[in-house]
Amino acid sequence: MPVETFLHALTSYFVIIDPLGAAIIFYALTDGKGRSYSRTMAVKSIAVSTCIILTFGFFGEVILTRLGISIEALRVAGGLLLFYTAFHMITGTDSHQQSGSIQGLTDISVYPMSIPLLSGPGCLTLTILLFSGATGTAELVAVVGAALIINTVTLISFLFAGTVMRCIGGTGDDIIKRLFGVLLAALAIQFIADGIRQLAAM
């Protein structure tokens, strides 16, 4: 397994999915509804988001080809989208404030946990870019492995969301979110630069 590809994919997924931040939102939506409900929603959320990510990973480029969209153009557009996400992470646009309006949902596994939190536009764009950049079977396995590992970490953080919340608290989450936002912004700029370079070479 190519270590560099694996670490790049692992870091990218960890930043864009943000298991700790997602766990805090999950805790806010499931608090007081019982451990059985929380476990069910945790497993369903991860199962749905994993299926979506892998589907886009394996078939996303085919869909783009049918639509006449080049991967280079997607790199630029995806970089802009990721930068937009990073900007809101850094400037403190608080997705926790949205949780109050969806607190009454019975099943939160698809919305809002899977879409848009875990496998939203930014994650799906990143997925297509990572899968399209895998030049061989070993690199493809590395990317898939990274996605599965991060989803597993996210599941564990959901199952222990109460403990996570007590450990890092709101201040800790804000610090982590802004730090990851800076890293994601740098990743976005790299995608944009690579896309422009490849478009110029065509």
Distance from C-alpha of 131 to C-alpha of 120, rounded to nearest angstrom: 16
Split at pLDDT 50, 70, 90, the class of 67 is confident
Nearest to 125 by CA among 162, 82, 94, 87: 82
Q: Tell me which amino acid residue 160 is.
A: F
Is pLDDT larger for residue 109 or for residue 181? 109
**Segment 87-110 mean pLDDT:** 64
Q: Tell me which amino acid residue 18 is.
A: D
Whole-number pLDDT of residue 195 = 84
Whole-number pLDDT of residue 98 = 47
Whole-number pLDDT of residue 71 = 74
Annotate 155-182 with b (16+ C-beta within 10 A) or e (fewer).
Answer: bebbbebeebbeebeeeebbebbeebbe
Q: What is the dihedral of CA 153, 182, 193, 190, to 10 degrees?
A: -30
